[in-house]
Structure 1
Amino acid sequence: MPSTSDPQTLIDRTGTLGRIRLNRPKALNSLTLSMVRDIEKALDTFEADPGIAAVLITGEGERGLCAGGDIRMIYDGGKAGSREPVDFWREEYRLNARLNRLQKPFVAFMDGIVMGGGVGISVYASHRIVTERTRLAMPETGIGFFPDVGASWFLTRRKNELGTYAGLTGEPLAAADAIAFGLADSHVPSDRLADLAERLSRLPASATRADVSAAVGAFAVAPPPAQVAGQKPLIDRLFAFDTIEEILDALARDGSEFAERTRGVLRTKSPLSLKVTLRLLRLGRAEASLEACLEREFAATAAVLRSHDFYEGVRAAVVDKDRNPQWRPARLDEVTAEDVAVFFEPSADPLFAADAGKGERL
């Protein structure tokens, strides 16, 4: 296992493959600001190198690619009034946009836990590989936050409500569901990932995305049947509303086992986060660029740092670990329009230039 003095990100090259390895296995490879900067520098190097055919991102250890951003850092920094949380989000979101525009083939091994910011560094890859161990989720409504890293873009690209379900409930998705939700492309058994990486390293420097697809296809197999996506007709009907109250009412009226279980999950989440998240998703559905969604999400983080529910959610999940957050407001009918509106005030210091947003891929 890496020691505390080991680098948090390992950057190297194998043949024609540029490697980015997240190296905080004890923290489920949670992202820090220095890791975001390491990835940016690696992309600078690999994109400028004509001998690099493709870039691969993986997580060290056996537990996952990345469990998200370093929430404890944001919690502590926010309480102390530090600039670090704002700097982290600013550079992380810009990295998300860059990954979506990357010209070289970009491969992500989404093995094990892939959550929050871990989705943000993998969902924009040109080749997104899941395994039998994948558990992908955007669980932010459970900590008084909202699905970010462009979730209001990548959860809204398909004409169905699967993304609404994923963003509001935060429920983990296995391989087949991740593919069905449009968040991954191929399923490769975890014990074949090393062989796939070796095959990618032997691609000619002139390899195209089609060449990478052929290499992946040689290792890909059908995943076990999807579980959540099998409920798509029901999800499309029950999550088609524009208020959380209507969604909960529809779930209660339906009364099926799936609806009851989902209703129970939603009732554990921050009421304010649920309302903010649904509005972000509905606005994101109408956007023409990832950058516009990231801009809105970044502006909303200012309200997060001032909110009660974020600190209470992290306290309950990470600090005290009592799993018993006391949300404020405690009920949906106590959340006012003004409570939600503060999350949608434009940032005084935008992420992107006004003409950003070209070259979308996802």
Structure 2
Amino acid sequence: MTPTTPITPATPITSGTGDDPVLVRTEGHTGYLTLNRPKALNALSHDMVRRVDEALTAWEHDPAVETVVISGAGERGLCAGGDIRSIHADARDGDGTATAAFWYDEYRLNARIARYPKPYVAAMDGIVMGGGVGVSAHGSVRIVTERSKVAMPETGIGFVPDVGGTYLLTLAPGELGTHLGLTGASVGARDALLCGLADHFVPSDGLPGLLAALATEPVPDVLSRYVREAPEGELDGHREWIDHCYAADTVEEIVERLLDHGATAAKEAAGTILAKSPTSLKVTLAALRRARDLGPLERVLEQEYRVSCAALSSPDLVEGIRAQVVDKDRDPRWSPATLAGVTDADVARFFAPLGARELSLAADGSGQEAPW
């Protein structure tokens, strides 16, 4: 749109009340999505995924909506991930069908966001983890602030990076993605930019003005006024040991290299890794290595769906969520308890085809309806 082209605003709409988990509204030529579970750090439920997808469908075919914005309610962050309490209950007491159906639709949404034909602006302020990365870091305009904490922490709950996380992490320079995937470490604004998880830094006090201005102005014009230089990060200064240590072929060798390295941060990373689920660590490394050769995001999401479904029958997922979120004793009892106890066959099981339950995504992110 040129500056002289008149804007035909979308018909203003507001969907839902203040208690609804996703608030949907339009203003000017922009559609606004607000994840609205602040007490749960805006954790994603299946219903929330459906609501976001429905809004994207409507706006994609509405010529009056030119831009989409997603943000989180409250002061703590965009989204801390999926609703893992529900996943824990389903994996422990159910048959896993509800969780598999949730992931099926969530991963389709992740692919859709990546291929969305209109600017998709994600306000990655505060905590952005797991599923929060999935609804933001695949977007075309990803904004972080000095408060951003971006992470894929799944190995700490007996799970594996999903929502396209293994795809995003393999795009990071060198072995930075392997480091983040295995340790689950969170990164700030500068490091998120370095790793390709974000595009722009905007101070948090400028974010409300930026999001409001998008209602009536083109995205590039608004960004030019609000984007600033991000504060210094940490990862760039650690590239030497990260790239060397994480290039190893096995988790055991990675840990050995980290422990043998002279850098204090390398030894700390080894300690962090050794506290995670041994099975999750080995499956994560295999998933990251395989993702490098799979090509587009859709193929990686299909692999992640296989891995995620297999994790539902792994004891470590239930145990990890119990220890970290339910009982909060922070003392998970992993099974097997050591890296040596996880065999190649154990890892291969996570990548086995699912037959009729397979996720199959077209190149535009769409796919068949869930077979539930």
Pair 1:23 & 2:43 matched: no
The answer for the alignment partner of 2:110 in structure 1 is 96
The answer for the alignment partner of 1:215 in structure 2 is 222
Deviation at 1:195, TM superposition (A): 0.6
Is the alpha carbon distance of 1:57 and 1:5 closer, same or farther for their aligned partners in structure 2, counting shifts above 3 Å?
closer
Give 2:288's aligned amino acid.
L
Count of residues paired in the alignment? 348
Pair 1:303 & 2:310 matched: yes
Deviation at 1:336, TM superposition (A): 1.0
Give 2:210's aligned amino acid.
L
The answer for the alignment partner of 2:122 in structure 1 is 108
* 2:295 paired residue among 285, 288, 295: 288
Give 1:152's aligned amino acid.
T
Deviations 1:257-285 (A, max 9, x none): 11111111111000110000000000001
**Residues 114-153 of structure 1 mapped to structure 2, 5 A cutoff:** 114-153=128-167
Deviations 1:65-101 (A, max 9, x none): 0000000111111222252101100000000000010
The answer for the alignment partner of 2:191 in structure 1 is 177
Give 2:329's aligned amino acid.
D
Deviation at 1:217, TM superposition (A): 2.6
The answer for the alignment partner of 1:71 in structure 2 is 84
The answer for the alignment partner of 1:186 in structure 2 is 200
For residues 268 and 67 of structure 2, what CA distance do their matches in structure 1 show? 42
Give 2:133's aligned amino acid.
V
For residues 145 and 241 of structure 2, what CA distance do their matches in structure 1 show? 27
The answer for the alignment partner of 2:360 in structure 1 is 352
Deviation at 1:334, TM superposition (A): 1.0
For residues 5 and 32 of structure 1, what CA distance do their matches in structure 2 show? 17
Bigger mean CA deviation after superposition, 230-239 or 103-112: 230-239
Pair 1:157 & 2:171 matched: yes
For residues 220 and 258 of structure 2, what CA distance do their matches in structure 1 show? 40
The answer for the alignment partner of 2:250 in structure 1 is 243
Once the two structures are aligned, what percentage of the paired residues are identical? Answer: 49
Which secondary structure does the structure 2 equivalent of 1:156 belong to? helix
Deviations 1:182-214 (A, max 9, x none): 1001110111111101211112xxxxxxx4133
**Residues 56-67 of structure 1 mapped to structure 2, 5 A cutoff:** 56-67=69-80
For residues 221 and 18 of structure 2, what CA distance do their matches in structure 1 show? 39
Gap regions ≥5 residues in structure 2: 1-16, 366-372
* 2:48 paired residue among 35, 38, 43: 35
Q: Which runs of 4+ in 1 moved over 2 A?
A: 356-359
| Cα RMSD, aligned residues only | 1.5
For residues 59 and 268 of structure 2, what CA distance do their matches in structure 1 show? 46
2:68–2:119 Cα contact (<8 Å) kept: yes
Deviation at 1:357, TM superposition (A): 2.7
Deviations 1:99-155 (A, max 9, x none): 010000000000000000000000111110000100000000000000001112111
For residues 166 and 127 of structure 2, what CA distance do their matches in structure 1 show? 21
Give 1:261's aligned amino acid.
E
Is the alpha carbon distance of 1:43 and 1:358 closer, same or farther for their aligned partners in structure 2, counting shifts above 3 Å?
closer
Deviation at 1:338, TM superposition (A): 1.6
Is the alpha carbon distance of 1:256 and 1:345 closer, same or farther for their aligned partners in structure 2, counting shifts above 3 Å?
same
2:142–2:200 Cα contact (<8 Å) kept: yes
For residues 12 and 202 of structure 1, what CA distance do their matches in structure 2 show? 14
Gap regions ≥5 residues in structure 1: 204-210
For residues 250 and 262 of structure 2, what CA distance do their matches in structure 1 show? 19
